[in-house]
Amino acid sequence: MAYSGPIIDAHHHLWDLGLGRHPWLADTANERGGLGDLGALRRNYLPQNYARDAARHNVIATVHVEA
């Protein structure tokens, strides 16, 4: 039986590429530097994206990590 109780997501990230705070993510040259294909991450991931992804789980609290 899978766990269905409350969840505290102890670590998640949000990012807005338009702010320019993550140049390593926008730079396709990093893919040649050992980080692999970052294509799936090369889009904004904002609170509404997290809320959509977490909606089917019983998340009652989160810890946002700013990196």
Q: Per-residue pLDDT tens for 22-63? A: 887 776 655 656 777 788 888 999 999 999 999 999 999 999
Quote the strand ranges of 1-67, DSSP E.
7-12, 59-64
| pTM (two decimals) | 0.76
> Domain-by-domain residue ranges, the chain?
7-64
Backbone angles phi, psi at 63, to 5 degrees: -125, 110
Tell me the three state secondary structure of residue 65: coil
Distance, CA of 55 to CA of 16 (rounded, Å): 21
Q: Per-residue pLDDT tens for 51-61? A: 999 999 999 99
Tell me the three state secondary structure of residue 15: strand
Distance, CA of 11 to CA of 54 (rounded, Å): 13
